[in-house]
Amino acid sequence: MLYPQLLNGDFARLPRALREFHSTPGGGRAAGTVVVRRDNDLLAQLAGFPPSGENIPIELEVVASEDTEVWTRRFGDVVLRTLQRREGDLLLETFGPVRMFFRLRADESGMRFECLRARCWAMPLPLGVQATARGGEFSWEVDVTIPHIGSYQGVMAPVR
């Protein structure tokens, strides 16, 4: 499983909801609601980012193998699918030709994704993506910001 590999000993420090979700064999599903804000409608639309709104239903499905995970996020009618895999000690997330490299940090409150670099094909992108997942026993809060494109914040819980 990808996240236990990347976080090593810090994986055990994660809150229960995040630890269980990221160690479910074959992947997992979660649902919740988010607030979405677009910073630039044109860029957000080109990136496949969902429209702005309050209380937007979100569904997450992760299909995991030993070294890759396919993340499908459904924001109402908008579907965003990415592929995650390990690249050395970093998480590589791809979306079409875009490649984002993250260092994962974990502690008792949750995870932080530090975007170290991003590329579209071979061209560097100024994407300082900021993402956190703060968890508890049964759910977690997600906060994702993509500068110049938009952000979403909300609460997720596993669907069994």
Predicted pLDDT of residue 126: 86
Q: Are the C-beta atoms of residues 91 and 104 closer than 8 Å to each other?
A: yes
pLDDT per position as a tens digit, 130-155:
999 999 999 999 999 999 999 999 99
Topology of the domain comprising 2-158: Lipocalin (2.40.128)
Query: 158 pLDDT exceeds 90?
Result: yes
CA atoms lying within 13 Å on the CB side of residue 42: 0
Q: What is the dihedral of CA 94, 31, 11, 20, to 10 degrees?
A: -130
* End-to-end alpha carbon distance in the chain: 19
Residue 134: other Cβ atoms inside 10 A: 18
Query: 88 pLDDT exceeds 90?
Result: yes
C-alpha 88/C-alpha 1 separation (Å) is 15
pLDDT per position as a tens digit, 56-87:
999 999 999 988 999 999 999 999 999 999 99
Predicted pLDDT of residue 107: 97
Query: 127 pLDDT exceeds 90?
Result: no
pLDDT per position as a tens digit, 98-112:
999 999 999 999 999
**Proportion of the chain above pLDDT 70, given as a percent:** 100
Instruction: Specify burial of residue 85 (Cβ count, 10 A radius: 0-12, 13-18, 19+).
Output: middle
Strand-pair category, 68-75 with 53-64: antiparallel
Residue spans per domain, the chain: 2-158
Q: Which helix (H) or strand (E) holds 57?
A: strand 53-64
CA atoms lying within 13 Å on the CB side of residue 90: 14
Q: Quick one: which of 53, 50, 63, 33 has its CA closest to 156?
A: 33
Tell me the whole-structure pTM to 2 decimals: 0.94
Query: 53 pLDDT exceeds 90?
Result: yes
Poorest-confidence range of 11-15, 56-60, 121-125?
A: 121-125
